[in-house]
Amino acid sequence: MSTQENKQLCQKGYELFMRGAIPELLSFYHDDAVWIQPEMDHTPYGGMHRTKAGIASFFQKLNDTLELVAMKPEQYIAEGDKVVVTGQATWKARATGIRFDSPWVHLFTVRDGKVAMAQMWSDTAASEHALRPTAAARGARPQPEARH
């Protein structure tokens, strides 16, 4: 595939994700694809997810944990088999009810017209805060500890 076709594949993938069309989105991934998400406390969807089935499990855990309020891909930058996408998202933690904004960067490696690898970077502090079991009771970001 050309660089432009790789970019279009990723654009269509975001459209599918934002519509909640996960089964169709998974058809864009190789059976042996790898999805890498930052590992975070209180976050069941973090880590490395191998195979299409593992990626499907990631999306299920993500949906069980967070409600997508808004997502806006902003830039698609493609070169060779790589596509980098930057954007902003607003999520709501289902367990705590806390909403948070998260800028993100996603890197896709495309092989033979499908995604072979996806790696995600985002504001992990914001999501960890929103998902922390005591966060709902506090209602605000924890203050830094005083240094002595």
Asked, for residue 81, whether it belongs to a domain, the answer is: yes
Asked, for residue 140, whether it belongs to a domain, the answer is: no
pLDDT in the model for residue 48: 97
Question: Structural domain tally of the chain?
Answer: 1
Asked, for residue 104, whether it belongs to a domain, the answer is: yes
Asked, for residue 68, whether it belongs to a domain, the answer is: yes
Asked, for residue 95, whether it belongs to a domain, the answer is: yes
Specify the CATH number for the domain of residue 58: 3.10.450.50
pLDDT in the model for residue 42: 78
* Phi/psi of residue 141, nearest 5 degrees: -60, 140
| Under 8 Å between Cβ of 104 and 124 | no
Residue 50 CA to residue 116 CA, distance in Å, equals 10
pLDDT in the model for residue 139: 52
Asked, for residue 37, whether it belongs to a domain, the answer is: yes
pTM exceeds 0.85: yes
Contacts of 121 (CB under 8 A, 6+ apart): 38, 104, 105, 106
**What's the one-letter identity of residue 126?**
A
Contacts of 52 (CB under 8 A, 6+ apart): 26, 29, 30, 31, 32, 33
Asked, for residue 89, whether it belongs to a domain, the answer is: yes
**Which residue segment(s) compose the domain that 24 sits in?**
3-134
| Positions in the chain short of pLDDT 50 | 140, 142-148
* pLDDT tens-place string over residues 49-64: 999 999 999 999 999 9
pLDDT in the model for residue 136: 55
Residue 46 CA to residue 26 CA, distance in Å, equals 18
Asked, for residue 39, whether it belongs to a domain, the answer is: yes
Q: What are the CA-CA distances from residue 2 to residues 6, 8, 78, 140, 142 (Å)?
A: 6, 10, 10, 47, 47
